[in-house]
Amino acid sequence: MKKQFNCVVFMAAMQAAISPVLATDELEELSLEDLTKTEITSVSRKSQSLSNVPAAAFVISSEDIRRSGAQSIPDVLRMAPGIEVAQLDNGRYAVSARGFNGRFANKLQVLIDGRSIYYPTFSGVTWENDLIPLEDIERIEVIRGQGAAVWGVNAVNGVINIISKHSREQKGGVLTTTVGSPERAALYARFGAAIDQDTSWKLSAQGRYAQASEFWDSGTAARDKLNNLTVDARFDRKIDASSDLSLWANVANSSLGDALTIAFSPSPPLALQPFSLQQKLANQTLGGRYRWLTDSGVESLVQASFNNSAIELEGFYDENRHTFDLDYQGRHTFARHDISWGLSHRTTADEISSHPAILTFSPQEFTQRTNGFFIQDDWTLIPDTLQFGVGARWDNTNLGGSSFAPNATLMLTPNPSNTLWAKYAQAPRMPSRAEQAVRIFSTVIPPSRQMPLAVLVRNSTNGNLLTAEKMEGVELGYRSQLSATFNVDISAYCSRYTDIVAGQQSGIDPVTLFPLAIIQDVTLINGGKGWIKGLELSADWLVLPVWRLQLSYAWTQIRMDDSVNPIVQGAGEMAEQDTPKHHGSLRSQWNISSNRQFDAWVRASAGYERLNAPYTNYVHVPGYVTFDLRYAHKLSKDLELAITGRNLVGSKRTEYVSDYLPSIPVEISPSVLLSARWKF
């Protein structure tokens, strides 16, 4: 598999690649030079040209999303260099930037229109709950590297900001249907209209269904049958030439089965047993944003949102959460300075109940409050040639304390076609609610000759208050428009991590119900340290006026410090082994004619070793090379039919073995999707 991967990367590098593609009838009219001027707002929380930002940035356009044939946001993110995506089952994904991937990957901040969807209980993102339909996304901005100086805690290894479409761009109706094999279906409907030349609205709804997969070890039917429903409404009003208002409401519900291997039995002997459950997610959000420009030239933005969410793992876990977010951001330019600043507040309150034999939360109810302030100055030292940026953010929360995240960049643009940049930054990752308050049986060590008793490993803080994990890193980047048809973007980075949450052995307790078992308590501490370094590449090539290629590739290496603490040492070894060193993709978009498209997408990832929770043994997750094909035909201006084949190399594969919650792995199989898109 390693030879196959190296071969694909070599061929991809020889062919190079493309930039985000716009609409079919525009492809022949736009050059890559035009496309590098794509707007991006997530680097410094202001509008900038993609070709002129001192960061490892990548933009996925709405046309990229449509032509990919993907059905979920994580699958779309496979386009971006440095973003590691592994599918667990029909709805669950592990998504991270620059290493440390996991079902609850905790060092990647994910936003929808600037509002965090980072899950505060276990950290990470619950990707299985479709919070926004793919059809409603204008673009996805992917920033690799530290973003805490402007976006706050947990923006350690990257920021993903999903930008929704303005309602004025969604006038009229759209109906999209998708059916496929193995059994899956999706339906999307939208209608929007303009009330007057300054006011518009839209209402959309999406439903998705997928039949259960198969378990990787037995080939029997898994429990991951998926049902999703999302309803989204938006209202936009241009009040005058210098102010506008946006309001939105969103409701999302999903149901997805799961099967866990847990140490639970109603009677001796103690045994690891599969435990089937149904996961239900519910989410409701109401929000608004007001932007205005003062007479003195200060751009201001206020955004507020209120969210209710609920998670139920039937018979195992139940959580209800209420979250309020309030953000203010200002910007003012004078002389050679471009200054941005902002204030933020979040209050999130939860009520949690769980199966006491598996995990417990103490307290069961908790309200977390987080306040933050940031300031950023981009100072032009030499006009159009040299820019120096410096900024910092301070955050305080009653679950983890205070943190400070500075940031400095230097960008050199010797000519309009070449940009070099360097960056230094620090970023904190605040411990999650679960890390601070949970007691969970995470691992089972079966009896052996050396230890005739079964050992149940139980994790908890044991009253120890965790502090923020810390990262300090440097990046170097080069971005070049080598010709009107070819550009390249290269970044290299090295990051130092300290105070990583790990464990240390504490007491041993007998298990009264099971006389042949003991409990080994592990207390969570800030004990891990290590380094990550890597290289990322993206390249765009307009081979012909109607044919474009896009390449992305990432190399990642983790080296953790040795420790005399055996648990910290084991966690470090696991971190080194469970990150693929290579992954990449090559996309081809070909306009056969004005009404026909043919797209191909090759993806590859190196293999890695993964701890098979709740056991203590490692399993090898093989590397893979696969590809997707899509053919679309516009029968008329308003009706398009498409057929997509996904994961067409290899009969089946497993991309990930779950952590934290010991879900039984399933197999990812090839699929064929038929879709129709009708505009009216």
pLDDT in tens, 565-593: 988 998 898 889 989 999 999 999 999 99
- Strand 199-210 with 624-634, pairing: unpaired
> Could you report the per-residue pLDDT of 626-674, keeping only the tens digit for each?
999 999 999 999 999 999 999 998 778 899 887 767 788 889 999 999 9
pLDDT of residue 43: 87
pLDDT of residue 375: 97
CB atoms within 10 A of CB 7: 12
CA 202 to chain centre: 26
| 532, pLDDT greater than 50 | yes
| 15, pLDDT greater than 90 | no
pLDDT of residue 40: 87
pLDDT of residue 21: 36
Spatial contact of 171 and 192, defined as CB atoms under 8 Å apart? yes
Residue 77: which H helix or E strand, with range? helix 73-77
CB half-sphere exposure, 495, CA atoms < 13 A:
31
Spatial contact of 557 and 25, defined as CB atoms under 8 Å apart? no
- State the DSSP code for 659: -
pLDDT of residue 438: 84
Range with the poorest average pLDDT among 37-46, 65-74, 273-282, 507-516:
507-516
C-alpha torsion sign, points 56, 82, 645, 140: negative
The single-letter code of the amino acid at 388 is F
Spatial contact of 21 and 27, defined as CB atoms under 8 Å apart? yes
Spatial contact of 227 and 205, defined as CB atoms under 8 Å apart? no
Spatial contact of 255 and 279, defined as CB atoms under 8 Å apart? yes
- State the DSSP code for 264: -
Q: Cα separation of 588 and 550, whole Å?
A: 7
Residue 64: which H helix or E strand, with range? helix 62-68
Report in angstroms the alpha-carbon separations of 422 from 150, 314, 384, 390, 405.
Answer: 17, 49, 17, 12, 17
CB half-sphere exposure, 286, CA atoms < 13 A:
3
> Could you report the per-residue pLDDT of 407-453, keeping only the tens digit for each?
999 999 999 999 999 999 999 999 999 888 888 777 766 666 666 66
* Band of residue 16 on the pLDDT scale cut at 50, 70, 90: very low
* Band of residue 11 on the pLDDT scale cut at 50, 70, 90: very low
Q: Cα separation of 399 and 369, whole Å?
A: 8
pLDDT of residue 264: 54
pLDDT of residue 32: 55
Q: Which CATH architecture has domain 2-679?
A: Beta Barrel (2.40)
pLDDT of residue 448: 66
pLDDT of residue 2: 42
Q: Cα separation of 629 and 675, whole Å?
A: 13
Spatial contact of 360 and 438, defined as CB atoms under 8 Å apart? yes
Residue holding tokens 């605040």?
Answer: 430
| 594, pLDDT greater than 80 | yes
pLDDT of residue 464: 73
Q: Show me where the domains of the chain are located.
A: 2-679
Burial class (CB in 10 A: 0-12, 13-18, 19+), 241: exposed
| 137, pLDDT greater than 90 | yes
Q: What is the mean pLDDT of residues 500-524?
A: 72
| Closest to 226 (Cα-Cα) out of 206, 183, 246, 255 | 255
CB half-sphere exposure, 79, CA atoms < 13 A:
38
Range with the poorest average pLDDT among 21-25, 49-53, 175-179, 509-513:
21-25
Average pLDDT, the chain: 88
pTM for this predicted structure? 0.91
Task: Give the tokens for residue 262.
Answer: 């847990």
How many residues does the structure list for the chain?
A: 680
Rg (CA), the chain: 25
The single-letter code of the amino acid at 318 is D
Q: Cα separation of 108 and 160, whole Å?
A: 8
Spatial contact of 524 and 503, defined as CB atoms under 8 Å apart? yes
| 454, pLDDT greater than 90 | no
Q: What is the mean pLDDT of residues 191-201?
A: 97
| Most confident residue range from 14-23, 215-224, 614-623 | 215-224
pLDDT of residue 289: 97
Report in angstroms the alpha-carbon separations of 326 from 115, 243, 283, 344, 434.
Answer: 9, 19, 18, 6, 24
| 3, pLDDT greater than 70 | no
List, in sequence order, every beta strand (DSSP E) within 89-136: 93-97, 108-112, 115-116
> Could you report the per-residue pLDDT of 70-91, keeping only the tens digit for each?
999 999 999 999 999 999 999 9
Q: What is the mean pLDDT of residues 101-107?
A: 90
| 25, pLDDT greater than 50 | no
List, in sequence order, every beta strand (DSSP E) within 355-385: 359-361, 365-382
- Strand 671-679 with 172-181, pairing: antiparallel
SS3 content of the chain, % helix, strand, coil (to 5): 10, 60, 30
